[in-house]
Chain A
Amino acid sequence: MEGGLRAYVLRRLGFAALMLVGVSIILFAIMRVAPGGPEAVLIGGEFSPEAAARIRQRLGLDRPLVLQYTTWATAAARGDLGRSFKTGDPVAALIAERVGPTLQLTGGALLFAVVVAIPLGVLAAVRRGTAWDTLGSAVSLFGVSFPSFWLGVMLILLFSEALPLLPPSGLAEYGREHDLLSRVRHAILPTLTLGLIQMAAVMRFTRSSLLEALRQDYVRTARAKGLADGRVVWRHALRNALIPVVTVIGLSLPTLVGGAVLTETVFAWPGLGRLAVGAVFERDYPVIMGVNLIVAVGVIAANLVTDIAYCLIDPRISYR
Chain B
Amino acid sequence: MSDSALGRLVHHRRGMLGGVAVALMLASGVLAPVLAPHGYSTQSLRQRLQPPGRAHWLGTDGFGRDVLSRVMWGGRVSLQIGFAATALSLVVGTALGGAAGYFGRAVDTAIMRAADAFLSVPALFLVLVVVALFGASLLNTTLVIALVTWAPAARVVRGECLSLRAREFVHAARALGAGHTRILGRHLLLNALPVIVVQASLMLGQTILIESGLSYLGLGAQPPLPSWGNMVVEGRQFLASAWWIAAFPGLAIFVTVLGFNLFGDGLRDAFDPALRGAA
Which residues of A are in contact with B by a Cβ distance under 8 Å?
18-19, 22-23, 25-27, 30-31, 34-35, 41, 141-142, 144-150, 153-154, 156-157, 161, 204-205, 208, 254-255, 257-259, 261-262, 265-266, 273, 276-277, 279-281, 283, 285, 288-289, 291-292, 295-296, 299-300, 303
Cβ of B121: which chain A residues have Cβ within 8 Å of it?
23, 26-27, 254, 292, 295-296, 299
Interface-side segment among B41-49, B162-170, B187-195, B245-253: B245-253
Instruction: Tell me the B197-255 residues at the A interface (CB within 8 Å).
Output: 205, 209, 212-213, 216-219, 229, 232-233, 235-236, 239-240, 243, 246-247, 250, 253-254
* Interface presence of B272 (CB below 8 A): no
Convert B127-159 into 0s and 1s, putting 1 for each residue whose CB lies closer than 8 angstroms to a CB of A. Answer: 011111110000000000000000000000000
Asked if A26 contacts B239 (CB within 8 A), the reply is no
Q: With A and B bound together, what is the CA distance between A4 and B198 in angstroms?
A: 40
* Interface presence of B83 (CB below 8 A): no
Asked if B113 contacts A22 (CB within 8 A), the reply is yes
Asked if A150 contacts B253 (CB within 8 A), the reply is yes
Report A8 CB to chain B, min CB distance, Å. 18
Q: With A and B bound together, what is the CA distance between A156 and B253 in angstroms?
A: 18
* Interface presence of B123 (CB below 8 A): yes
Q: Which residue of chain A has its CB nearest to the CB of B113?
A: A22
* Known pairs A22-B114, A34-B134, A261-B217; A147 contacts B253 (CB<8 A): yes
* Known pairs A204-B279, A277-B217; A289 contacts B120 (CB<8 A): no
Asked if A157 contacts B128 (CB within 8 A), the reply is no
* Known pairs A257-B122, A299-B121; A280 contacts B213 (CB<8 A): no
Asked if B114 contacts A261 (CB within 8 A), the reply is no
* Known pairs A18-B113, A149-B232, A161-B239; A292 contacts B134 (CB<8 A): no
Asked if A261 contacts B258 (CB within 8 A), the reply is no
Cβ of A154: which chain B residues have Cβ within 8 Å of it?
246-247, 250
Cβ of B261: which chain A residues have Cβ within 8 Å of it?
141, 144-145
16 further contact pairs, Cβ within 8 A, besides A18-B113, A254-B121: A19-B116, A25-B117, A26-B126, A144-B261, A147-B250, A149-B212, A150-B246, A153-B239, A153-B250, A157-B239, A157-B243, A157-B247, A261-B128, A266-B236, A292-B129, A296-B120
* Interface presence of B262 (CB below 8 A): yes
Q: With A and B bound together, what is the CA distance between A276 and B129 in angstroms?
A: 9
